[in-house]
Amino acid sequence: MEKVINSYETLFVVDNSLGEEAVKSIVDKFTTLIADNGTIDSVDEWGKRKLAYPINDKNEGYYVLVNFKSEGEFTLELERVFGITEGILRSIVIRHIEDKKTKKDA
């Protein structure tokens, strides 16, 4: 059976109060995990930003956006690892749906 590769985007927020070294370590952990299980298109580190609302009594977080391609089963594992990793305040994984417009013949 042919493997289905989809395009995904994940945004995760790291607890900025852990310190610069710990934040970099967590970002490296997840970019390596994604690279090992797919292909990374881009990594955009937004950096430290104020949260819209406090999470675990924190008002700031370090935001990272990663666009990648992988098999669908990997996203379940990625979400699981986000959930059990100390220092991740929030995360989301979104699949990009390709726009398949049909051309009308004139």
* Average pLDDT score over residue span 79-90: 96
- Is position 104 within any domain? no
CATH number of the domain enclosing 40: 3.30.70.60
- Is position 102 within any domain? no
Structure tokens at 81: 């690892």
Q: What is the pTM of this model?
A: 0.87
Q: What is the pLDDT of residues 22-51, one digit of tens each?
A: 999 999 999 999 999 999 999 999 999 999
Alpha helices in the chain (DSSP H): 20-37, 72-84
Closest Cα partner for 7 from 99, 90, 88? 99
Range of the domain at 45: 5-96
